[in-house]
A and B are shown apart, each in its own frame.
Chain A
Amino acid sequence: MTLLIRTPQTQPQHGTLSPLLILSALLVLLQGCTSITIDEYHAREHQSITAGEHVVVLGRRHSNDYETEPELIECIGDILDDDNEVITVIPEKQFVDALYPWFEPRTAPMRVKDMGRLLTREDVAETIRSYHIRYIIWVDGNTETTSSSGSIGCSIGAGGAGCFGFGTWDKESDYEAAIWDYQHLENIGQISADASGTSYMPAVVVPIPLIARVQRNTCEAMGLQLRSFLNPTEKAL
C-alpha cells in the first residue's frame, strides 16, 4: 500500500524589527519568503521507533556536479534529535568514520539490497549493531543560486563612504530523503522538499541584506516531516 501526502508549506522569514528605523522595518516586512513544498511517500503503512533505537542521517555525495551539504545533514539531525526522548540521531561523521571505508562516496550502498551485501561482512554488521541503528536516512540534493540581477556600487571619498544600488538573487533547494529500515532492510518511504526564495540587498549608503534562508527553512521543514514520519504518535500529541 502506498500513501502520498502533499503538504505545501510557506514559511516566512523572521527578521529583527527595530522600532527606531521605520525604513528598516519596511524592508524587513518586504523580506523575501521561502516557499517550500514537501512530498511524503509511505511504502509501508505503519512504522515507528522506540526509545533505544537510533537514527543516522547521511548525505549522498556521488553526484558529479553538486554535493549534499554537510551542514544540511547536521541541521536535519539536530531537528530530529531535539526536544524528544524517542529519536536519537548518530552524527554523520561519527558513523561514517566508524565504518570507514564502507560509507564513502565510492563505496556507499545505493540501494537497500546493496546494504544486505555489505552486511555479509561481520565487522561492518557488528559496528552498525553497536550503534543500535533502526533507520538510515539518505538525503540527496542541494541548494543553488538560480539567478541574480541588479548592481551595487560603493565609493569612498574625503567626505565619507557609501554604497548605492539594488541586488537580488533567487535560490532553490531540491532534496529527497530515502528512509531505510535497517532491521528489515527495506525502503519504507521518501520525503522530498522543493523550496525557493528570493533575497534582496538594497543599498542606500549602507547595504541592507534581506536574506531568504532557503536551505535553513528546507532543513527545518524536512526535519519536522521526518520526525512525524518516524514517530507518528508525536504528531498526535
Chain B
Amino acid sequence: MTMKSVTKVVLLGLLSLLWGCTNNMKVTGTFPKPLIASLPQPVGIIYDNDFRNYVYTETSDDRGKWIIDAGAAQVDLFNTVIPELFDYVEELTAIPSADTPANVKLVLYPKIIDFQYSVPRETKFTIYEVWLKYNLSVYDAQGAMVADWILTAYGKTPTAFMQTDEDAMNAAIMVALRDLGANLSIGTRRVPEIRAWLERNTPNDPSLKAVQPIQSTDVKAPTVMSPKSAQKTPAPNGSIPIHTAQHQE
C-alpha cells in the first residue's frame, strides 16, 4: 500500500468518525387511520417539493448536529388523514385559478413553517421534545383562498435504556405528527372559515352540527386572492387520485 493510499484511508476514517458525530436520520413509522366521519366533498392536495423533501438541518454551533429528513413522514401522515376526512382526495401539482379551475371543490396546500426540538442534555429533563408548526392554506376550485390555518403539534418521548438519540428523536417526531393528525382530524370542521364554506356547500351534513367552531388565534383571517403562481400555472392534468372514501353519516 502506497503512502497516498494510507493517507486516503486515514482521511476517510476521520471523515467517517466526524459523520458519526452527526445525528443523521430519516423519520420512519406508520400512522393509524383516524376514526372520524368524512365530509362529502372532493378535495385536492398539493405537496410541493419543499414539503415532500423537507429536511431539518441544525445550524447552531451551540447544539448537536442534527439532520432530520421528515418529508416522507409528513406526506404519509397527510395521505393517511385527509382521505378519511374527505370523501375523495386527489393529488394536484399547483393551485387552481379562475382560468384553470380544479375538478375538486377544495384544494389543501400544507407547508411546514417551523420545526423545533430539545434533547435531554439541553433541558435536563429525561424527554426528547418536538414542536411543529404548519400552515394549511385552503382554496376553492377557482383558487380563491378559503382559509389560512396555522396548525401546531407537539410530541415527546422519554429516554429509554439502550435507545439511541435517533430512535428517541424519531419517536418524538412520530408523536408530534400524530398530534398534527389529531388536530387535522378534529379541528378542520371547527375552523370558522372552513366551517362557513362547508355549511354553504354541504348544508345537510350532520357532522357539522355535532361540533362547535373554534375561536382560535391560530386561524388567520382569510384573504380572497389568487396567488400569482396560480395565474401562471395551468390546471393540473393527470392528477393522481389518492383515495375514495364513503361518507359515513
Q: Which residues of A contact B (CB under 8 A)?
A: 61, 65-67, 69-71, 97-102, 104-107, 123-124, 127, 142, 144-145
> Within 8 Å CB of B35, what residues of A?
98-102, 123-124, 127
Measured between beta carbons, the chain A residues less than 8 angstroms from B248 are: 123
- Give, as a whole number of angstroms, the nearest-CB distance from A172 to chain B: 13
Whether B11 is near chain A, meaning CB under 8 Å from some CB there, is no
Write out, one digit per residue, whether chain B residues 98-142 have a CB within 8 A of any chain A CB (1) or not (0).
Answer: 000000000000000000000000000111000000000000000
Known contacts A98-B35, A123-B35, then 13 further A-B pairs from the complex at CB < 8 Å, ordered by chain A residue: A71-B160, A99-B35, A100-B31, A100-B33, A100-B34, A100-B181, A100-B182, A101-B35, A101-B185, A106-B179, A107-B182, A123-B37, A123-B248
B127 x A67 contact (CB < 8 A): yes
CA distance A67 to B172 in the complex (A): 11
Query: How long is the Cα–Cα vector from A123 to B35 in the complex, in angstroms?
Result: 7
Among B33, B158, B182: residue with most chain A CB under 10 A:
B158
Contact in complex: B125, A101 (CB < 8 Å): no
Write the chain A residue with the least CB distance to B30: A97
| Shortest CB distance A104–B (Å) | 5
User: Interface on B for A, CB 8 Å cutoff?
Assistant: 31-37, 125-127, 156-158, 160, 175, 178-179, 181-183, 185-186, 248
A147 to chain B, nearest CB (A): 13
Partner pick for A67 among B156, B181, B182, CB 8 A cutoff: B156
Judge whether B158 and A100 touch: CB under 8 Å.
no
Nearest B residue (CB) for A96? B32
Chain B residues near A102 (CB, 8 Å)? 35
Question: Bound state CA distance, A62 and B77, in angstroms?
Answer: 22
Say whether B126 contacts A98, CB under 8 Å: no
Residue of B nearest to A99 (CB): B35
Partner of B158, one of A99, A106, A142: A142
Interface-central residue, B33, B35, B36, B37, by most chain A CB under 10 Å = B35
Set of chain A residues within 8 Å of B183, measured between Cβ atoms: 106
Chain B nearest CB from A124 CB (Å) reads 6
User: Which of chain B's residues has its CB closest to A67's CB?
Assistant: B158
B181 contacts which chain A residues (CB < 8 A)? 100-101
22 contacts between A and B (CB under 8 A): A61-B156, A66-B125, A67-B156, A99-B35, A100-B31, A100-B32, A100-B34, A101-B36, A101-B178, A101-B181, A101-B182, A101-B185, A101-B186, A104-B178, A104-B182, A106-B182, A106-B183, A107-B182, A123-B35, A127-B35, A142-B126, A144-B126
Ranked 9 nearest A-B pairs via Cβ: A101-B182, A97-B32, A100-B32, A67-B158, A104-B182, A101-B185, A69-B158, A123-B35, A101-B34
B31 proximity list for chain A (CB < 8 A): 100
Q: What's the Cα separation between A127 and B181 when bound, in Å?
A: 19
Contact of B179 among A69, A104, A127, A144 (CB under 8 A): A104
Tell me whether B157 and A67 are in contact (CB under 8 A).
yes
Looking at the assembled complex, report how far the CB atom of B227 sits from the nearest CB atom of chain A, in whole angstroms.
31
- Nearest A-chain residue to B33, judged by Cβ: A100
By beta carbon, the residue of chain A nearest B181 is A101
> Which A residues are CB-close (under 8 A) to B36?
101, 123
B185 touches A65 (CB 8 A): no
> Which A-chain residue is minimally distant from B35 (CB atoms)?
A123
Q: Is the CB of A66 within 8 A of B178?
A: no
Chain A residues whose C-beta falls within 8 Å of the C-beta of B125 in the assembled complex: 65-66
Chain B residue nearest to A102 in the complex (CB): B35
Bound Cα distance from A106 to B182, whole angstroms: 8
Q: How far is the CA of A70 from the CA of B174 in the complex (A)?
A: 14
